[in-house]
Structure 1
Amino acid sequence: MILSVTLLGLLWGVVVARVPTLWRDPRQRAFWAVVVLLALIKTVVLLPHPAILPNLLGVLTAYFLLRFLSLLTGRGTQRWHLALTAAVLAALLVLAALTDDVTLTGDLSALTVAYWIVLEGFLGAVLVTTARMFWAVAPDAPAGLPRLGLRAIATGCALVALYAAIKTGLIVARGTGLAHIDFAEFKRYAMHLQGGGILIAVAGACVPAARRSRDIIGAYWSLLVLRPLWKAMRDAFPEVILFSPRRAVFELAGVDDVQLRLYRRVIEIRDGMLALRPYLPETPPHSPDPADAEAAAIVQALRRRADGLAAAEHPAAFAGVGPEMADEVAWLSRVSRAYRHGPVTAAARTPRPSGSAR
């Protein structure tokens, strides 16, 4: 029960977290469909449902997994995958209509055995293909978490394929009278193999997303930290704004979008500071912390400009920063914090940050 609840929570968490990726590319949409269907299957089995429903959802999951593999490798066609999936679904529906019961609780007729062979054979073949592909490409991935994530996907798919193979063998054995199998008891223990395999595979698939999410969160946090300083420059020099930001949650779909906005914010701050240079005081403020001194100089320059003082012919300069954008972000973040929280800022009644990070 704990494993089922953990898996269900993970699946729906991934579904919600990856909604923004639907606008990125077809691969992300195919992967999202796989996770959604897995989450639906695990939810449906906890509720009253037609016996065939989870099986049909499982076939659709396999189709989108095939689609995902096709988009990753450039092999296979959507038309072929769609035709194969349609044939499997049609076969299952026909077999289910011809037999009274497709569950494994009573005597298994030949049609019931055929139903499960078609279902588990299709699912097992797709899972084996997936496991082989991800295991084969894992050595080419960067060492560490990316490689571990790919191997986790392969291992999880292999475990679920093993579950399908064992279950199929037991169904055939019981259907032919070779052995009496209590499938209720089998499910009690074997579901750990299936659930554990899905858990490992989904966790492995989340590794790249986790790294990407860390970069996105870091960039977005920098946007928030830089906002007080950026707002001061924007209010003083509206012309430094390069273009209006896209106010859409879809910007969180990729780290590139957030990084672009972060770079733009740094450039706009620097353009504002360049325009503010002529108003810097001749004697720069002194502080043990260079970031506090820079923030105090900005406050004084803004005050001098607001008071209408003449611009200096030979303006002073702000502190120099290293050549990398990361150096600029780190330094301006320190200055922005000092600008917002420093006592000189409060005394000067400079604009307080408001609104969103956008």
Structure 2
Amino acid sequence: MNSLPVVPMVVILGFVAAITIGRWFLVAETLGDRLVNRALAWDLVGLVLFVCVGRLGAADLAFDLFTIFGAFAVANVFGFARSLDGGDPRTAVRRQRIYDGMAVAAGCVVLVGIMAARTDWGPTVWSLTTVPTAWSGLHITRACLRELRTAGIAAKERLTYGALLFVGGYAAVSTMVSLVRTANGTRPDEPGLPWVIGAYATLVLLTALIAIPLWYAVLARTELDRAGRCCRRLRPLWLALTDAVPEVVLARPSGGSASRLYRMTVEIRDALVRLRPYVPDVEAHTDIREYARGIARAVQAKAAGEAPAMASGRATPVDPRDRTDELRYLLALAVEWPKARALVRAGSNLRRAEPISPRWRRRAPACSADRAPTARSAG
């Protein structure tokens, strides 16, 4: 497998390493995610050692090390394939301990062979690991066929399961063919350039499929997905309303942008309900610009310590059970919010700072204690 040139090999290993590191930090919520991450990490370590040690001239040692780490990768792949193909999730952890124990035993056998200078033990153990690899491919193939037969599956999911079906089928067939070729005398670490290209191409395709959840996780973390973009548009309104009514703030559970958007809409709606009594002259069915200015005045009134003038009313003129219409209305309100708040603040500052004009003084009644009443006022 060292017959591939150095540059494409380094590019492939760098791609796998980047996806592996990204998934360890961003995609590790479920047991299936963690099994995939561990399998990818073990396989990456084994490949790096195989390439580096093999380039130094120790081909047998390189293959033995690759076999040790490959056994751990196969154990995690088999655990993931069993879970994907309908394995009982309640016993998944216990099953995985058994698979990991078998991988440790295989690794110990290879280590004993290395210390005993038995170069034939590595290929033997590798041949044994091809059986669970092929079995994993069959599990993945059956699970993908079952999902592809499901009615109403989206095109994106159909494409993903189709690619995974190809990988699973290739893994099942290629490992069995490789096992037959090894039995006929072909070294498993030098199967020939076409097989090496196929193995690395499968690794790249499988890594690209594994990178899809990582891509979605990066979009959610940077708020570049649809829910995240809505959160960014709602944030100025949400911050202002939750600062004014902090008792509506819910707990902050861990979750993606979709759960964050849902929590923000609930908190905004609750805050609007609590602020409505401060602006009794603004009905929820008025123009959204007027409604935004009314809510801005309510925030100002509550901050000034004024008492509410009426009982709580509806937050918005839309039905809160219709999440789509409610979100659309709140996004429109968020667009008007900066302008409405600026107008209310400007009007408040103008009323506080405006001096009394001379005309107003002439029209004002003489109520000062140092002015004597005129004859007209006295009369």
CA distance in 1, matches of 2:169, 2:115: 31
Q: Is 1:194 the counterpart of 2:192 in the alignment?
A: no
Contact 1:8 1:42 in 2 (8 A): no
Q: Offset of 1:20 from its aligned partner?
A: 4.3
AA in 2 matched with 1:346: A
**Counterpart in 2 of 1:35?**
40
AA in 2 matched with 1:119: W
CA distance in 2, matches of 1:82, 1:317: 58
Q: Offset of 1:61 from its aligned partner?
A: 0.3
The gaps in structure 1 that reach 5 residues or longer are 103-111, 176-180, 351-358
Contact 2:178 2:188 in 1 (8 A): no
Q: Could you give the per-residue CA deviations for residues 202-238 of structure 1, whole angstroms, max 9, x where no partner exists? A: 3334456656776774334433332211221222222
Q: Is 1:126 the counterpart of 2:132 in the alignment?
A: yes
| 2:73 counterpart (48, 56, 61) | 61
**Counterpart in 1 of 2:22?**
16
Contact 2:277 2:308 in 1 (8 A): yes
Q: Offset of 1:182 from its aligned partner?
A: 12
**Counterpart in 2 of 1:92?**
110
Q: Offset of 1:276 from its aligned partner?
A: 1.3
Q: Offset of 1:286 from its aligned partner?
A: 12
Alignment coverage as a number of residue pairs: 318
CA distance in 2, matches of 1:134, 1:294: 55
Tell me the secondary structure at the aligned position of residue 317 of structure 2.
coil
Q: 1:192 to 1:38 in 2, by over 3 A?
A: same
Contact 2:137 2:171 in 1 (8 A): no
Q: Offset of 1:17 from its aligned partner?
A: 3.1
Q: Offset of 1:62 from its aligned partner?
A: 0.6
Q: 1:35 to 1:348 in 2, by over 3 A?
A: farther
Q: 1:304 to 1:205 in 2, by over 3 A?
A: same
Q: Offset of 1:317 from its aligned partner?
A: 5.9
Q: 1:297 to 1:317 in 2, by over 3 A?
A: farther
Q: Is 1:145 the counterpart of 2:156 in the alignment?
A: yes
Contact 1:149 1:207 in 2 (8 A): no
Structure index of larger Rg: 2
Q: Offset of 1:316 from its aligned partner?
A: 7.7
Q: Is 1:232 the counterpart of 2:232 in the alignment?
A: no
Q: TM-score, normalization: structure 2?
A: 0.68
CA distance in 1, matches of 2:282, 2:17: 60
Q: 1:115 to 1:232 in 2, by over 3 A?
A: closer
Q: Could you give the per-residue CA deviations for residues 223-281 of structure 1, whole angstroms, max 9, x where no partner exists? A: 333221122122222222233x25xxxx25xx4xx544433322221121112112337
Contact 1:278 1:315 in 2 (8 A): yes
Q: Could you give the per-residue CA deviations for residues 157-211 of structure 1, whole angstroms, max 9, x where no partner exists? A: 4434544445444444447xxxxx8976x55432211111122233334456656
Q: Percent identity?
A: 19
Tell me the secondary structure at the aligned position of residue 242 of structure 1.
coil
AA in 2 matched with 1:198: L
The gaps in structure 2 that reach 5 residues or longer are 1-6, 55-60, 347-379
CA distance in 2, matches of 1:312, 1:222: 33
**Counterpart in 1 of 2:341?**
345
Q: TM-score, normalization: structure 1?
A: 0.72
CA distance in 2, matches of 1:286, 1:336: 17
CA distance in 1, matches of 2:271, 2:97: 55
Greater RCO, 1 or 2 (C-alpha within 8 Å, sep 6+): 1
